[in-house]
Amino acid sequence: MPRVSLYTTAFCPFCHQAKGLLEEYEIGYEEVDLGAEPERRAEMVERAGGRVTVPQVFIDGAHVGGCDDLYALADRGGLDAIAESGAVAVDENGAMALDEKGAVAVDEDEA
The gap between the terminal CA atoms of the chain, to the nearest Å, is 9
* pLDDT at residue 55 in the model: 98
- What is the per-residue pLDDT for 84? 82
The confidence score (pLDDT) of residue 86 equals 63
Q: What are the Cα distances from residue 42, in Å, to 47, 87, 104?
A: 9, 28, 28
**How far apart, in whole angstroms, are the C-alpha atoms of residue 17 and residue 74?**
13
Residue 58: its pLDDT value, please? 96
Tell me, what's the pLDDT at 36? 97
Give this prediction's pTM.
0.79
- Give CA–CA dist 105/100, Å, rounded: 9
10-residue mean pLDDT series, the chain (111 residues): 92 98 95 98 97 96 96 93 69 55 53 48
